[in-house]
Structure 1
Amino acid sequence: MSTNSLFDNTETAFQLKSDSELERAYFLFKMISNEPLVKIGSAVTKFALNINLPVEGLIRSTVFDHFCGGVNELDCMPTVDRLQEVGVSSVLDYSVEGKEEEEQFEATTKKVIELTKFAKNKEAMPFSVFKPTGLGMFKIWQKLTEKEALTNEEKDLWNNIVSRYDRISKVAHECNIRILIDAEESWMQDAADDLCEKMMEKYNKERPIIFNTLQCYRWDRLDYLKGLHKRAKEKGFKLGFKVVRGAYMEKENDRALEKGYKTPICESKKATDDNFNNVLKYIFDNLDDIELFAGTHNESSTYIAMDIMKQKSISKSDDRVWFGQLFGMSDHISFNLGAEGYNVGKYIPFGPVKDVMPYLIRRAEENTSVAGQTSRELTLLKKEKERRNL
């Protein structure tokens, strides 16, 4: 099969889906393609969960089971094992969002450490993951990014965050499991980048264990990467990066407009694509210093990465290069890459249904705003339904 038609193979893409799961996926993406419906559905779901209406069963059997692995890590294991059988690894993502209590930040830290230790003996789970705001209050990150002084109480909270990062990083280093740290809004990201760099300097001496995330819809990310690469070479540590396009575009543009500063977002979709591809190329040119986790649902960027690997004679299974997609999306990329022998990881969100809903709602809203994403899913699902004569 020629490389640039690899992702058209729906038999491989949907090999793990039963006929009923295929029908459910088609129904869900049909719903997600309707923006007003997503907005109404999101509002109704939030309301129903907040007043404890018995809707968890319905959510569980539809959107939750399609996009999530389960309510806890053991619940996810059958999915992890099935994926491994077809050459796809798993990145379990404890996706409880929007919590603001120290108790919850500690619980998340313990969960990430537990998963990292568990992954040590589970070949199918080469990475752990967390969000900065999963370990500490957004406002602390924001104040540090905006160079505002912290109160004494906030300094204590910040020290707690640093301690949580260090505890997770230490365990990851001991277990030789790489940690992917997600990126968030630009007005808190500088503080997250700085702390991540400290952890890289401490724990990435022999190889990259700590991975930061570059959101390439931000026009400044290639320069940031080059600057960090220079510092890393001077100080003798390695870099790891998850490279994505980004997840907060409308929020970023709205805030820049409201506050009257230049938006951090690239001026066009093409500029974002170019930025993403240039970041990929820079990492491939410096693979001895920087490992790559290309988190992309974009076919052409994936083909570009595959072409570069071929040109540079980088083995498909080279452990320094990984591709990743979200569970329940872009299976045509993940499973066809896995079948070809590339390193692929599916990001699998999990957690209690009610706690994971903010994440799922954000994903649904993102999907409606990414032109072409949902229609591509529908086209492929329809093609596979026809192949199976459903």
Structure 2
Amino acid sequence: MHNPDANQLKPVQKALDFNNTEIAFRGSSDSDLERAYWLFKIISVRFLAKVGPPLTRFAMAIGLPVKLLIKPTIFEHFCGGETIEECEGTVSKLASGNVGSILDYSVEGEEEEKVFDETCAEIMRTIKRADGDKRIPLTVFKVTGLGRFELIAKRDAKEPLNEEEIAEFQRVSSRINLICALAHERTVRVMIDAEESWIQDSIDQLALEMMRRYNQNSPIVYNTYQLYRTNVLECLRQDTKLAFTEGFILGAKLVRGAYMEKERKRAEEKGYPSPINASKEDTDRDYDDALRFCINHLNTIAFVAGTHNQESCQLLAQLLDGKQIKHDHDHIYFSQLLGMSDNLSFNLAASGYNVAKYVPYGPIKAVMPYLFRRAEENTSVAGQMGRELKLIVKEKKRRKMF
């Protein structure tokens, strides 16, 4: 049996200060800081971030021992381990700073039914592992881990499916239901990640169906809303109206979005209007409006604010205080990725807010697409790497003074 309460002693709440590097890096050793410094230095160089993934794939394909380089560096920084058991150290370390873990089996890009069944079984294992352990308040999965991307894209495009494809899609739906039914039985919250816009309608329909079944009394299933898409704030409003009318709780994870360059490129190639907001300012506005909307509908919505944006975190904290909502309200979580924005995660937790970090895990080779995407996303987020590096340098200097 786990003893999660050992790591659940709430600290005295501190005033929120995102520049407090002592709190942000309290769980990081000097060598952890040094590794993070060099990783972010490398990732911040666009050329290296672009050529690194194909070179690594090539090296792995011809049998070079790349894993020996990847595991103690980028993998260890951004992932919890290769198995659920290997994640225990990360779970404990985060919990010591009152930050929860979101176990995320990050295998993707597979095509075989056998692999989809294995992935489904592994996601169910994450739910069983989270059951009864307060240090793991949320779990997560991607629909494309459970079914073929092309099948879902065909259904989204409203192209007729043949009998074999209809049966195949029913298997995808069954896997999702198995996961959500177990989550409901164990009272473990499970988030369904967002994906590309041309498969998202099917994912949204599946998520809403799961919420109708399993969110009658408490938030179990969460769908993800990518606010960099032009129509998603309105979708959030409509889904909230539906949840209120039909009497279930809407689970919503709010993110800006992860496929901007791919989305714009496809829209241009296929000659349809880009589904992505024209500017970062538009996305920031929609994201912050979504936070305000959720706060104003807390009886109907439980939400996770997935963001590395300091201004949005500050806004949500101010909204809670302005409406005298307790910091650890059961319907509100902040969330960031493991290995990034520790200044947000740990300082929010020190001020008594619910915070959980994504803890990706899986065999190194299978998790490589996830790691490559992290590197590519980070270079496209202006200023993100600069902020990470600045805070690491600040903490290294602070430690030298003592």
TM range (shorter): over 0.9
Are residue 155 (structure 1) and residue 166 (structure 2) matched?
A: yes
Match of 2:5 in 1: none
Distance 1:160 1:115 in 2: 20
TM-score, structure 2 as length reference: 0.95
Match of 1:140 in 2: 151
Deviation readout 1:85-136 (Å, 9 max, x if unpaired): 2110000100011111111111111011111011112110111100110110
Q: Decide whether the 8 Å contact of 2:15 with 2:351 is kept in 1.
A: no
Are residue 110 (structure 1) and residue 121 (structure 2) matched?
A: yes
* SS of residue in 1 equivalent to 2:176: helix
Q: Specify which of 46, 64, 68 is matched with residue 57 of structure 1.
A: 68
* SS of residue in 1 equivalent to 2:358: strand
Match of 1:308 in 2: 319
Are residue 334 (structure 1) and residue 345 (structure 2) matched?
A: yes
Aligned 1:237-256 pairs, distance under 5 A? 237-256=248-267
Identity %: 49
Deviation readout 1:354-389 (Å, 9 max, x if unpaired): 110110001100000100111100100011111112
Match of 2:107 in 1: 96
Deviation readout 1:142-163 (Å, 9 max, x if unpaired): 1111111111111111000110
Q: Specify which of 132, 139, 143 is matched with residue 121 of structure 1.
A: 132
Residue 201 of structure 1 and its aligned partner are, at CA, apart by 0.6
Distance 1:211 1:356 in 2: 23
* SS of residue in 2 equivalent to 1:97: coil
Residue 310 of structure 1 and its aligned partner are, at CA, apart by 0.4
Are residue 181 (structure 1) and residue 192 (structure 2) matched?
A: yes
Q: What stretches of structure 1 of length at least 5 have no aligned partner?
A: none
* SS of residue in 1 equivalent to 2:190: strand
Deviation readout 1:325-345 (Å, 9 max, x if unpaired): 000000000011111111000
* SS of residue in 1 equivalent to 2:82: coil
Residue 292 of structure 1 and its aligned partner are, at CA, apart by 0.9
Residue 2 of structure 1 and its aligned partner are, at CA, apart by 5.5
Match of 1:19 in 2: 30
Residue 51 of structure 1 and its aligned partner are, at CA, apart by 2.2
Q: Specify which of 351, 361, 364 is matched with residue 353 of structure 1.
A: 364
* SS of residue in 2 equivalent to 1:266: coil
Deviation readout 1:156-186 (Å, 9 max, x if unpaired): 1100011001100100001100101100000
Distance 1:146 1:173 in 2: 31
Q: Decide whether the 8 Å contact of 2:79 with 2:361 is kept in 1.
A: yes
* SS of residue in 1 equivalent to 2:18: helix
Q: What is the total number of aligned residue pairs between the two structures?
A: 388
Match of 1:317 in 2: 328
Are residue 262 (structure 1) and residue 273 (structure 2) matched?
A: yes
* SS of residue in 1 equivalent to 2:39: helix
TM-score, structure 1 as length reference: 0.98
Distance 2:337 2:99 in 1: 12
Aligned 1:178-327 pairs, distance under 5 A? 178-327=189-338
Distance 1:52 1:174 in 2: 44
* SS of residue in 2 equivalent to 1:255: helix
